[in-house]
Amino acid sequence: MKVTSKAVVDGFADYLSKELKPQYPTNTLGGFMMGFSSGLIRRRAEIVAAKLMSNPLISTFVIDEEGMIDLDELLEAAREAVPDTGLIVSIPLSGEVTFRKSDADVIKQYIERASG
């Protein structure tokens, strides 16, 4: 499936706000930071999309001549990069989040919805 960079950014922001943010109590700094992050990503979507598109690996392997992103190829590469034990990401002021291979499928659903 081919999608725009905006759909990738919007879908990932939805994933943050609907999947990750609920893991943090709303009255904590972590909950605030997760909400803040997804909101900031949405407001700065054009800048985030431009950075995504300018990444040499992404632009070489998953973006076609028309600027569309091959979502299946992108997420398959992400699945392969995540260790079987998960990828622990430290989010400043929020704590740690563990991404698993199966998260790629969940993120894909959000991106597909964002692409209309």
User: Is the model's pLDDT at 112 over the cut of 90?
Assistant: yes
- How do residues 39-98 score in pLDDT, each as one tens digit? 777 787 778 778 877 888 777 888 888 889 999 988 888 899 899 999 988 877 777 788
Find the domain containing 21 and state its range: 2-114
What b/e string do you get for 12-38 counting C-beta neighbours within 10 Å, with b at 16 or more?
bbbbbbeebbeebeeeeebbbbbbebb
| Structural domains in the chain (count) | 1
What is the model's pLDDT at position 3? Answer: 94
What's the predicted TM-score (pTM) here? 0.79
- How do residues 1-33 score in pLDDT, each as one tens digit? 999 988 988 898 888 888 887 877 777 777 777
